């Protein structure tokens, strides 16, 4: 995938003539991405084929409805595109049903609420502070405003999901939906345990696999598909895909999910993005992708070890995925200050909170790192010690950050 890191040649296209300011900004972003280390856990790199599809004529086509049942003329070609994307999604994940129209992972999640819950219904999800997502019942999101969130959490001692507490909470509140899947929980999830809890309370089990789906596709994480009623996916995280969402589900849920996406939540689907998703699913079924998915996990584990050796523990003592939550307390910096310090040194991460953080949510005591981008760029085991060094140096020594940035620029070939 390293060849995909090359700059997109926007300068030579109509864009530079039509809108030099935007062309310049895109050029600056390309330079920023090429000269600094991208460790934002939700990012990856779209493949050249995906980028070509995104810029194609398909983006101009209106196709409200579904293949064979559209509200617009001229849909024969895009019908085939969507059928192919659906078929590839089903094959890749071994799912009965797939919907490739959701504009993003969040919208795919909203479709789950639309299909399986009524306003006010209890929904059981991982506490936001413990790695849950806004779309799992935050008051700032429609999910927390229109439904009644109930939270499960992590155990204090090992910082892993407390399945016993989850079961007890489910039995008390009888949620209509149980959600699992996280933006920062880096451990494998026990899908069989969740299935049994969901069965006991007759809840729909929803796996929000926004972060996880690429690893599952590549065989680097256990699949929730055999256990969950419904699985939602983001195609831009870990995958080499476009910004977009998809839904996988058991056959019995197909009809309600179709209606939930269109017309309940969306209008015309982005057909260029659907073509790009079809490409993404095909690319994700290759041995090359499987190797990358495993490498991303290996790199995250190696970086976690390198950082532990330098005094920065990983939450739960390690990771099973491409991401890790790193406690930066030993640097004397908050998570927010640590992320800013690393940015100065050319290392781009997100600030984060620890599961039982005593700092404010705005500051936090952690950073979250993800290894999808670096892995796609060809960084490997031997680089993780170096990156661990750079991170530790930048966090401990403000005067060394410029030098670290210089070294990173050289390593990135600038
Ligand atoms: C990123 C993420 C989402 C949202 O995905 P988008 O594609 O950005 O809308 C939903 N749930 C989880 C757990 C995520 O990490």
pLDDT at 6 over 90: no
Q: Any residues with Cβ below 6 Å from ligand 1, and which?
A: 42, 104-106, 109, 133, 135, 181-183, 208, 210-211, 234, 245
pLDDT for residue 320:
98
Q: How far is the CA of 309 from the centre of ligand 1 (A)?
A: 31
Coil, helix or strand for 355?
coil
- Percent of the chain past pLDDT 90, that is, above it, reads 95
pLDDT band at 1 (very low <50, low <70, confident <90, very high): very low
Mean pLDDT, residues 353-368: 97
pLDDT at 89 over 60: yes
- Binding-site residues for (6S)-5,6,7,8-tetrahydrofolate, in ranges, read 128, 252
pLDDT band at 5 (very low <50, low <70, confident <90, very high): very low
pLDDT band at 413 (very low <50, low <70, confident <90, very high): confident
Tell me the CATH number for domain 287-413.
3.90.1150.10
What pLDDT, in 10s, does the model give residues 17-37? 899 999 999 999 999 999 999
pLDDT for residue 2:
43
Mean pLDDT, residues 201-226: 98
The residue behind tokens 């060849």 is 3
What pLDDT, in 10s, does the model give residues 102-129? 999 999 999 999 999 999 999 999 999 9
Closest C-alpha among 152, 213, 203 to residue 174: 203
pTM comes to 0.96
Can you tell me which atom of ligand 1 is nearest the CA of 235?
7
Give 333-395 as a DSSP string: --HHHHHHHHHHTTEE-EEE--TT--S-TTT-SEEEEE-HHHHHTT--HHHHHHHHHHHHHHH
pLDDT at 4 over 80: no
pLDDT for residue 382:
92
What pLDDT, in 10s, does the model give residues 392-405? 999 999 999 999 99
Calculate the average pLDDT of the chain.
95
Can you tell me which atom of ligand 1 is nearest the CA of 105?
7
Two tokens, residue 17: 């003539």
Mean pLDDT, residues 350-378: 97
pLDDT for residue 414:
55
- Percent of the chain past pLDDT 70, that is, above it, reads 97
Two tokens, residue 282: 């095909």
DSSP letter at 16?
Answer: H
Atom 7 of ligand 1: nearest residue by CA position: 105
Q: Where are the domains of the chain?
A: 57-283, 287-413
Closest C-alpha among 241, 199, 231, 255 to residue 94: 231
Task: State how far the Cα of 44 lies from the Cα of 179, in Å rounded to an integer.
Answer: 24
Task: State how far the Cα of 174 lies from the Cα of 188, in Å rounded to an integer.
Answer: 25
pLDDT for residue 15:
87
Q: How far is the CA of 29 from the centre of ligand 1 (A)?
A: 22
Q: How far is the CA of 132 from the centre of ligand 1 (A)?
A: 10
pLDDT for residue 11:
45
Please indicate whether residue 13 or residue 375 has the higher confidence score (pLDDT): 375
pLDDT at 12 over 70: no
pLDDT at 47 over 50: yes
Give 238-255 as a DSSP string: SSS--S-EEEEE-GGGHH
Q: Are residues 112 and 85 in contact, defined by beta-carbon separation less than 8 angstroms?
A: no
Helix, strand and coil content of the chain, in percent to the nearest 5, comes to: 50, 15, 35
Task: State how far the Cα of 315 lies from the Cα of 186, in Å rounded to an integer.
Answer: 9
Mean pLDDT, residues 278-302: 98
Two tokens, residue 112: 């789950």
pLDDT at 298 over 90: yes
Q: How far is the CA of 233 from the centre of ligand 1 (A)?
A: 8
Task: State how far the Cα of 75 lies from the Cα of 78, in Å rounded to an integer.
Answer: 5
Can you tell me which atom of ligand 1 is nearest the CA of 211?
15
Tell me the CATH number for domain 57-283.
3.40.640.10
């Amino acid at each position: 995938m390293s060849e995909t890191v090359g700059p997109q040649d926007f300068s030579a296209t109509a864009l530079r003539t039509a809108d030099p300011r935007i062309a310049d900004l895109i050029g600056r972003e390309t330079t920023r991405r090429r000269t600094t280390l991208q460790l934002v856990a939700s990012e990856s790199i779209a493949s050249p084929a995906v980028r070509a599809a995104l810029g194609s004529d398909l983006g101009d086509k209106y196709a409200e409805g579904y293949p064979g049942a559209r509200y617009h003329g001229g849909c024969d070609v895009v019908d085939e595109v969507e059928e192919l994307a659906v078929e590839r999604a089903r094959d890749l994940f071994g799912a009965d049903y797939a919907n490739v129209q959701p504009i993003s992972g969040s919208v795919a999640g909203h479709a789950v609420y639309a299909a399986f819950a009524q306003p006010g219904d209890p929904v059981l999800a991982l506490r936001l502070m413990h790695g849950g997502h806004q779309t799992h019942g935050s008051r700032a999101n429609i999910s927390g405003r229109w439904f009644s969130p109930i939270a499960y959490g992590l155990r204090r001692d090992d910082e892993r999901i407390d399945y016993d507490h989850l079961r007890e909470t489910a039995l008390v509140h009888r949620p209509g939906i149980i959600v699992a899947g996280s933006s920062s929980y880096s451990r494998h999830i026990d899908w069989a345990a969740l299935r049994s809890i969901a069965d006991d309370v007759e809840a729909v089990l929803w796996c929000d696999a926004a972060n996880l789906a690429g690893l599952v596709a590549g065989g680097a994480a256990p699949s929730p598909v055999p256990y969950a009623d419904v699985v939602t996916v983001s195609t831009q995280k870990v995958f080499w895909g476009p910004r977009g969402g998809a839904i996988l589900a058991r056959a019995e849920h197909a009809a309600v999910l179709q209606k939930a996406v269109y017309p309940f939540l969306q209008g015309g689907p982005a057909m260029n993005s659907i073509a790009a998703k079809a490409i993404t699913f095909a690319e994700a079924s290759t041995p090359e992708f499987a190797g990358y998915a495993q490498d991303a996990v290996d790199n995250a584990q190696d970086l976690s070890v390198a950082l532990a050796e330098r005094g920065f523990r990983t939450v739960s003592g390690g990771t099973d995925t491409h991401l890790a939550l790193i406690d930066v307390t030993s640097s004397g910096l908050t998570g927010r200050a640590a992320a800013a310090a690393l940015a100065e040194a050319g290392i781009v991460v997100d600030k984060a909170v620890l599961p039982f953080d005593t700092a404010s949510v705005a500051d936090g005591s952690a950073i979250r790192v993800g290894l999808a981008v670096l892995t796609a760029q060809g960084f490997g085991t031997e680089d993780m010690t170096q990156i661990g060094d750079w991170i530790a140096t930048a966090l401990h020594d403000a005067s060394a950050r410029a030098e670290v940035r210089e070294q990173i620029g050289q390593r990135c070939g600038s």
